[in-house]
Amino acid sequence: MPSRKRRDPRLSDFFRTRVPALRNLLQTVGKVLDHDVPILIRGESGTGKDRLAQAIHACSVRREKPFVEIDCPSIPVELFESEIFGHEKGTFTDAHARKLGKLEAAGEGTVYFDEISALTPPLQAKLLRALQEKSFTRLGGNDVVPFKARVIVSTSADIETILAAGTFRRDLFYRINVVTVTMPPLRERAEDIPALVAEFVGRRRKVDDEAMSLLTAHPWPGNVRELRNVLERGVLVSEGNLTADAFPLQAQELVAAAARGEWSLERLEAAYIREVLRATRSNFSRAAEILGINRKTLLEKRRKYGIE
Ligand SMILES: Nc1ncnc2c1ncn2[C@@H]1O[C@H](COP(=O)(O)OP(=O)(O)O)[C@@H](O)[C@H]1O
Ligand SMILES: [Mg+2]
């Protein structure tokens, strides 16, 4: 059978969005995919910075070359230089052999510094030198190793504050602040929520309208990561389609969502009663007390609204 030529991946394969801010961002990045300039990705935690870095690599001409991620906060300071630049045999007690650093491992691919603000100022200075000279030396060595990888950097820190405080070097910032994009928080992407929800719950499960209006109204401080976790949990705790009961959301949000969705008082009442019954694990006396009605009224309303 003749093999069909697969088309090259595009950024829009990784981010399906209707939100103008994110569309513009993808367009900006798309223009510099194959340029050698560094890309700085800003944005709150969970907005998709790592995903964008991976997408950039996968869509660039470097896609067949390595993608090397350096999770800056997780590397102990004393190991950092050797991790990044490598070391020669015998440089320190445990250096039994030459070790290639991550920059060297990235070769002509892409190196991604995740949460770069975690680097200490001396390391920032060393990285800046490597960027400027387009080369570096391994620890304890003299060989000049060329630095050919594409550089992508991310941060969720408030850069202006860390620059002012002096914990992030201005010279390094100027060097990496060439093409800078900011991932929008999920609360500014409400139109994208239904599509993300569908992706995370999978094809076989659906989310009902009431649950969907709750999900679209939630402010998602943890952004797409939080949405994904909440849905994965929802899929585990419920059978069949997902209802509002599957999500641990606040009554206040329920009211806000109801107002936006133009719910009737009856519909809101039904949702509220359901929530209180869930919170009390169907302890009718306790639920009636919370709702401020007697037990008999609660049982009537429960029957009327068909609450399990
Ligand atoms: N547009 C998207 N579509 C599907 N999943 C996404 C999208 N954006 C982010 N994610 C997922 O959300 C989670 C957090 O994304 P990540 O890139 O790690 O965020 P950050 O690096 O900004 O903290 C990951 O599981 C990622 O795959
Ligand atoms: Mg990240």
pLDDT of residue 252: 62
Check pLDDT > 70 for residue 52.
yes
Identical fold for domains 11-184 and 188-304, yes or no, is no
Please write the tens of the pLDDT for every residue from 7-39: 889 999 999 999 999 999 999 999 999 999 999
> Does the pLDDT value for residue 2 go beyond 60?
no
d(CA 187, CA 41): 18
Interval 270-291 mean pLDDT? 88
Cβ contact 152:177 at 8 Å: no
Is the pLDDT score of 6 beyond 80?
Answer: no
Distance 115 CA to ligand 2 centre (A): 7
What residues does the ion ligand 2 have nearby, CB within 5 Å?
A: 49-50
Distance 14 CA to ligand 1 centre (A): 10
Please report, rounded to a whole number, the percentage of residues in the chain having pLDDT higher than 70: 95
Higher-confidence position of 246 and 47? 47
Ligand 1 shell residues, CB under 6 Å = 15, 43, 45-51, 196, 199, 224-225, 228
Q: Count Cβ neighbours within 10 Å for each residue of 209-224 and write b for 16 or more, e otherwise.
A: ebbbbbbbbbebebbb
Ligand 1 atom nearest 192 alpha carbon: 1
| CATH topology (fold) of 188-304 | Helicase, Ruva Protein; domain 3 (1.10.8)
**Ligand 1 center from residue 289 Cα (angstroms):** 42
The third-level CATH classification (topology) of the domain covering 11-184 is: Rossmann fold (3.40.50)
Calculate what percentage of the chain has a pLDDT beyond 90: 67
CB-based contact 184:210 (threshold 8 Å): no
Q: Can you give the pLDDT at residue 3?
A: 57
Closest residue to atom 2 of ligand 1, CA basis: 15
What are the tokens at 198? Answer: 């569908």
Q: Per residue, what are the HEC states of the chain?
A: CCCCCCCCCCHHHHCCCCCHHHHHHHHHHHHCCCCCCCEEEECCCCCCHHHHHHHHHHHCCCCCCCEEEEEHHHCCHHHHHHHHHCECCCCCCCCCCCECCHHHHHCCCEEEEECHHHCCHHHHHHHHHHHHHCEEECECCCCEEECCCEEEEEECCCHHHHHHHCCCCHHHHHHHCCEEEECCCHHHCHHHHHHHHHHHHCCCCCECHHHHHHHHHCCCCCHHHHHHHHHHHHHHHCCCCECHHHCCCCHHHHHHHHHHCCCCHHHHHHHHHHHHHHHCCCCHHHHHHHHCCCHHHHHHHHHHCCCC
Query: Model confidence over 115-139: pLDDT tens digits?
Result: 999 999 999 999 999 999 999 999 9
Model's pTM, two decimal places?
Answer: 0.83
Q: What are the sequence ranges of the domains in the chain?
A: 11-184, 188-304
* Other beta carbons less than 10 A from residue 271's beta carbon: 24
The token duo for 130 is 């490597």
- pLDDT tens digits, one per residue of 207-217: 988 888 888 87
Q: What is the pLDDT of residue 280?
A: 87
Range of 49-63, 191-205, 227-241 with top mean pLDDT: 49-63
User: Per-residue confidence at 253, pLDDT binned at 50, 70, 90?
Assistant: low
Check whether 255 has a pLDDT greater than 80: no
Average pLDDT of the chain, as a whole number: 90
